[in-house]
Structure 1
Amino acid sequence: MSISKNSGVGVAGYPATVESAGQAGTVSRGLLAAALERLWQDKLALLGLVIILAVVAVAVFAPYIAPNDPVKVDLAQRLAPPGAQYPLGTDHLGRCLLSRLIYGTRVSLATAALALSAIMLISIPLGTLAGYCGGRVDNAIMRVVDVLLAFPGLILALVIAGTLGPGLLNVMLALSLVWWVGYARVIRGMVLSVKEKEFVLAARACGTCEMGIITRHILPNVLSPVIVLATLDMGKLILAISGLSFLGLGAQPPTPEWGAMLNDGRPYMQVAPQLMVYPGLCIMTVVLAFNLLGDGLRDALDPRGITRL
């Protein structure tokens, strides 16, 4: 007896399994090529990708790009207009605005990336465990998710960050404790669907261990929506981190961070609006870029769109 070749797993012996696996690999490579082709045709998604790559390059090479020390105070140059020494002028303490924006790119991206990594480390195991095991394990995890989803996410993160005290580390911890529930719910739903597929049943019939089934057959099939959600949430996380820093709970002086720079420039909005305009434009541009790329990935990875090619 053998399982259908489309399942990617055979039961009649290793040859059938190898053949089916090879065919499944060919199909997977074909789907990936089709997804990349759809992404390449999406000009807005490519624009978002180019902006993100440029921002990452600025963050990586910040020490070589920044014209001045971002934390050096020069009160004699406070609120100076743009010039040769300070291309975008200075803030209320005489610090180079352009240098602070460049270094703020590094802080904002690193904080959001670390928070997203922590969210993944929490949500992927718990969501997979809930969907695969079911029963009491599923009920226990989902009741925690339901309780956390009953509160507005940003308000709950604000409460946690306020309780822990100001600082970027506490902001990352607060957002991670709040944000993982959405991922866990999406992953659980995907696992519930995938674990009933024929190739999973065939792998179980072959005697594959539970961990092997999860890592080799289930997780690869739930990564696409998680990747799209993570791309979209990078922008949301940057916005949330900037918002908490604006309220004084995130980056503390003299750390250059876009949300904190907005708060620093607020009292000088009438006389030096650039102190708020430039950090706001940086936040808007990066969030928009991640949203454009996330929408493009969602369309590119949609199996219904791929099959129409």
Structure 2
Amino acid sequence: MNAPLIVQDLVALLQRRYGKAVRFGRSRLYQFDASFSCSMNYSKLLSGHRFFFGVSAEVVDSDFAFPQTKFGDFVLLVCGDIEHTLVLPRSLVIEMLAKVPTRRIDIFNDGGTYILQTTKHPKQNVTEFLNAFPKQRTPKELAIPEDDSVATPDRVHVKMQWALIQLGRAEGCSVWVPPNDRNLSYKREALASSTLDKLPNFGFDENTRRIVQNIDVLWLTRNIIRKAFEVESTTSIYSGLLRLNDLVLAQPNNQIDLYVVASRKRRERVQNQLIRPSFQQLIAQCRFVDFESIEGQLERLKAVQTGKGVRVSGLIEGEQFSLPDHYVYPAGV
């Protein structure tokens, strides 16, 4: 198949979904409106169920800045055709190509499981990134019926945001959700009705401010962020950790409690992602809390009779992972 034509088809597809494509840099780098920026790479199927990609120097150069966008930076690996495109966070590719001068990536298709391999790095199961393009969510798509009869992953995400809003307000906090989520609703109640319409000026630089305003839920007291939550029901766990990690790196002395919120069955996956070398600073500050615990706390809160001005505390605890000396990083994670 003709690689340039396949890339053109993918660009056309993404333009219809996200907006105008603009080239930047010296290689196949594209920015799609204000949505996201990416590198595009194609490989035909080779022997041994393998795809081979040579990534440009600009992609792995952490000093080369991609344009600021809503969803961030990605590396797209087209495996044979555009229906099989791996949408990898750029930071993951930078990590996997650290100290790899050839910038070579091998992708193996093992019965529908996509394994990424680079020199001197553990193999990485990247199946979760297959066709995982950033999703443009709309209020109509994500509004949840009052009876919660349809529990799709997107709707679970909004349900958890709504629950965290209720718990935060019960603790006497102001609550923030990203601008694009404010018009979403749960039980016919718009998230905007119980959240701040403007993020306070924390004195952050512009880059940090962009990171903070797109975190799923923030609890604030007197314009100070107490807790930050990333809800992981539809996106890969890695992408949520990246936002929290960016905050830690941008503000290393912050005192914010950070949480990854996911279903109990994803606990091990959260732990395996947190122990990555790139998250060494984050693991000491980040906790895991499961959907079931949040729902339980919300039910208990309903049973508590509180008078006007009475507040509760300690509604969110979470589990903090530690890394034993003997822990072996799992292959294929």
**Normalising to structure 2: TM-score of the pair?**
0.22
Larger Rg belongs to: 1
More relative contact order, 1 or 2 (CA 8 Å, 6+ apart):
1
Q: Which has the higher strand share?
A: 2
Q: Which has the higher helix share?
A: 1
